[in-house]
Structure 1
């Protein structure tokens, strides 16, 4: 990892046999390469930025199982309070990231901000946990929900064979990888279409639900705070469920270098997106409770499907299709974002050099996009994904809290750093306190899974010294690594970005 090959000169383009330069362009008769610059281009506009955030946040959770919060709060009223509170806390985190994204204009999100504030070792530990566990498992879970719900209308009312779900899931993952490898423009356009389909699906739930409310269907809201049993051990679990549903507000910061006019676009996209998502989530839950009691909601395996069956009859068959499209949009947005984190980490010397290279014609970070493909497929077919996510859920919020703590630290370490967008200091302080409170309370409520997650993450420390710090590699090993890097560069048709 951390070693840069010194391979240079010309190589044969494997697609047409022509000679190419180190920057991937054909040489002119005078021996100089011609053509446009090979780089990641600024193609993320305000609308595309909003679609990345909303399209990533709104996944399967709000359609399938909002019962996690209800289970740990014990009352309808308290569950709605938690939904609103999680929306406000997510907005605080998003505003903090808006400041970080406008003063540190690099892609990479959490990794980049921890690197700038606290140095390479802590940033590498975060990257290591992402690479070996969090990202492949997270992508596989969303993809499994896609596979389950895209097949639901075909197999109704029978059960879906597990192998069929995994095959559909594998096809979904492959399609997302291919799309992100081929075109940034089409990735962004399809994300916009999928985002509008999600909002349409939510509207199909909210509108008839509010109609029922105006008709007087309010019995489930009577004594809404009765039976509240918000205990100390249940509180972090309730907030985990809520914050997980809102997770995704930070993904635009992973692609900052591709955002058009980031000083304006990043804060505006974040604020608009969070307002839309919070409103949609709260109104969707209100709509559910107009039709279902708390007991019925807790008993449902897929809340949106149960809701649709009660109100819409046969039309309820379209709901699984919308859930599948929602999951596909989340996969697309997630992969688009965190492939840029691997791209930046490679550029910093923390991952193999080929991951920081750009396709000569597509202008996509092809190697950084496909690196998760084998690991995701492996976990999909053989791994215990859900257990792994339980181990890692608190680590995600630990490192997000550390990144926002970096904002506070940079206010004092680099007071003269240009900050086009600056939040009141109380906002990052409150968000940090909440993040760390949830994380450390989980040590009390679930010490076993928390300990396993810490252990997995801490393996990044010896990995840092083995792959990054230790520089006395045998010449034969370094030569082999350089050859592998060069051959991958030729096979994938990628070259270093021009700056």
Structure 2
């Protein structure tokens, strides 16, 4: 699959750079490159395959209107997500810095768009997604054991141990992600096999006149794509940990291509299995598609499905806990967040304060902001190609792929404004609220001196001199003190942006 996609897309590789940073001394305290190809694939598959594939089929079918068209939507969403992942593969090899969207906006469009993306992620997206998936995990894995009573809250909160693990060890978190990815792929195979076997044995009545529909509407069809893309979300998380990937010029493109092709094939097959066992009306009436499917096709192991779904959510959560704090870490390193979030544990090389920041926040989720900044990142990629044609790009995607993906992303943003103006408008307002925060905390030269004095005690001062390049923070710990090293920017960008 990797060879086929590389041939079709005319992708070019440059593997001469092994991804080491010669400007950083070996004895310096920084994020270590310890993520190889298998953990990279596991991070992508593990964060993409979460609760979406067990929730989104109902939304895709409801808005597409027919079984055949819904399967086509799933395939096209996979292709579109692969296009976006390829764009991010080029960005990840062109700018070998962690941070994902934030880094690429900073390098291509400047500091203000990057700060706004960081602002909305810290305030809305990251904590809300972590909370949503945590609750889904807790309810799926705990409630079946305590029904009809309410599950004890202490057992639901045990998922916070993932945060502790990500603070403790990068290697342990990566190995856990590999294990959870294999478990969730086993869950998908467990659903696919009985469906495909039934289809081979002649159970095809649900696919007759598959494209016939009385409820197809062009206004609803984009919503079907929206639900499908939700299930494919998470393909960009590997770019959040670029500085910890071994040989990123090779690992990132291979991991992205292999992972997205695998996920697309599995998603289409699992929907074929759903429609083989269940009619369209039965799927629409089901609140838990995977559980309904298991009760009919997997009667002997049906009770295990909720647990496997819960573990699938756990894998997504672990990937988020590992990758998202790296964006906070880079943002603090660039001076856009308090300096404490750019500190690294001396012995464990983990951004512990950034992980803790992710755990203790909660606001409602808004997908509008995520797609807006993904669109801006790929738009910035096009602009950067035009402004800096000689910039080294070890992995290069055809321009048509970038343009198509960017247009579709802006279409999704426009659709959100049209279909849900109030919630989307609120999300937009929260995003723009970061503008005054940016000028009050980062671009202090644009505000009067008397205002600077008022805010100087609330926000950290820039750390610019060599004498301030190292600082330690010690907090009480029953076992041992926690020591952190302030990591100043390791990379000096050559971007020509004011």
The Cα shift of 1:487 comes to 10
Q: Distance in 1 between matches of 2:205 and 2:316?
A: 35
C-alpha distance after superposition, 1:318-352 (max 9, x if no partner)? 11111111111100101211110000000000001
CA contact (8 A) 1:72 1:234 kept: yes
Q: Distance in 1 between matches of 2:455 and 2:140?
A: 50
Q: State yes or no: 1:366 paired with 2:349.
A: no
CA contact (8 A) 2:51 2:309 kept: yes
Match of 2:394 among 403, 415, 420: 420
The Cα shift of 1:36 comes to 4.4
Where 2:303 maps in the other structure, the secondary structure is helix
The Cα shift of 1:222 comes to 0.7
Correspondence for 1:439: 413
Matches within 5 A, 1:33-432: 36-155=27-146, 158-159=147-148, 161=150, 164=152, 166-172=153-159, 174-227=160-213, 229-376=215-362, 388-389=364-365, 392-432=366-406
Q: How many residues align?
A: 447
Q: State yes or no: 1:497 paired with 2:482.
A: no
The Cα shift of 1:99 comes to 0.5
Where 2:430 maps in the other structure, the secondary structure is helix
CA contact (8 A) 2:97 2:103 kept: yes
Where 1:349 maps in the other structure, the secondary structure is coil
Where 1:116 maps in the other structure, the secondary structure is helix
* Aligned structure 1 segments of 4 or more residues deviating by more than 3 angstroms: 166-169, 471-482, 485-488
Over the aligned positions, Cα root-mean-square deviation in angstroms equals: 2.2
Q: Distance in 2 between matches of 1:451 and 1:240?
A: 18
The Cα shift of 1:160 comes to 5.1
Q: Distance in 2 between matches of 1:256 and 1:228?
A: 48
CA contact (8 A) 2:48 2:316 kept: yes
CA contact (8 A) 2:85 2:236 kept: yes
Give the direction of change, closer, same or farther, for the CA distance of 1:122–1:228 in structure 2 (3 Å limit): farther
C-alpha distance after superposition, 1:393-418 (max 9, x if no partner)? 12211110110111111111111100
The Cα shift of 1:470 comes to 2.7
- TM-score of the pair, normalised by structure 1: 0.86
Q: Distance in 1 between matches of 2:269 and 2:86?
A: 23
CA contact (8 A) 2:116 2:431 kept: yes
Structure 2 unmatched runs, 5+: 1-25, 462-467, 476-481, 491-498
The Cα shift of 1:238 comes to 1.3
The Cα shift of 1:354 comes to 1.2
The Cα shift of 1:481 comes to 5.5
Structure 1 unmatched runs, 5+: 1-34, 380-387
CA contact (8 A) 1:49 1:266 kept: yes
The Cα shift of 1:228 comes to 5.5
Q: Distance in 2 between matches of 1:288 and 1:148?
A: 23
Give the direction of change, closer, same or farther, for the CA distance of 1:231–1:279 in structure 2 (3 Å limit): same
C-alpha distance after superposition, 1:348-404 (max 9, x if no partner)? 00001111111011110111111122214xx5xxxxxxxx32xx1122111101101
CA contact (8 A) 1:233 1:445 kept: no
Q: Which deviates more, 307-316 or 408-417?
A: 307-316
Q: Distance in 2 between matches of 1:177 and 1:415?
A: 41
CA contact (8 A) 1:108 1:340 kept: yes
The Cα shift of 1:428 comes to 0.4
Q: Distance in 2 between matches of 1:219 and 1:168?
A: 44
Where 1:371 maps in the other structure, the secondary structure is helix
